[in-house]
Amino acid sequence: MTVQWRSTYTTDALPDYLASEARCADLIVTSVVTASPLDTSRHASIGDLVMRAGRPVLVVLEVNAGTTFDRIVIAWKDTREARRAAREALPFLAMAKHIAIVEIADEADLQTARGRVQDVAEWLLRHGIRAVPLAMQSYGDDASHLDSVLREQEADLVVAGAYGHNRLREWAFGGVTHSLLQGKHSALLSH
């Protein structure tokens, strides 16, 4: 593995600078910043970074050399972002001891959701990765529901697509993405 460090002085917004440097990266690793959100000179908005980078962003709770991701939950939604996140997470998934693919769906869509997560489990199996497919009924607050699933599964990492609304409102994320950006769980996010 080759690691390279780059630094520069820039007047660009940090997410823009980091996204431009991501052209030669496989993965961007960051953590949730506890500094003032108004001080954008020393930290980048993770949401902006995810939307601009074109690379997966691994948001870790703590930077620790011994961090392992043994228990992973794939937060599935049948979108290109979720597909991309799952593909980009393959190296992590290959090393995990337990993987669950979770889709939270409306009651009317629950049977179809079961088929989708089963399809994803079969796709992973073709890569030599075993996963448990789980489709669960939505009760309105999918972000809270996912949070409780992550606790039940004792997840070390959640893999999810990041969903922004439109180009003029990139900062306005869907409920689950917004919740994952809060940093309660380590997350691999892809847009």
CATH for 61-190? Answer: 3.40.50.620
Q: What is the pLDDT of residue 23?
A: 85
Q: What are the angstrom distances between the C-alpha of 166 and each of 54, 67, 73, 86, 144?
A: 16, 35, 27, 23, 24
Q: What is the pLDDT of residue 169?
A: 40
Write down the pTM of the prediction. Answer: 0.83
Q: What local confidence, expressed as pLDDT, does residue 164 receive?
A: 62
- The pLDDT value recorded for residue 21 is 83
In the chain, where are the structural domains located? 61-190
User: Could you list the mean pLDDT of each consecutive 10-residue stretch along the chain, which spans 191 residues?
Assistant: 74 80 84 60 72 86 75 95 96 97 95 98 98 94 87 94 56 52 76 83
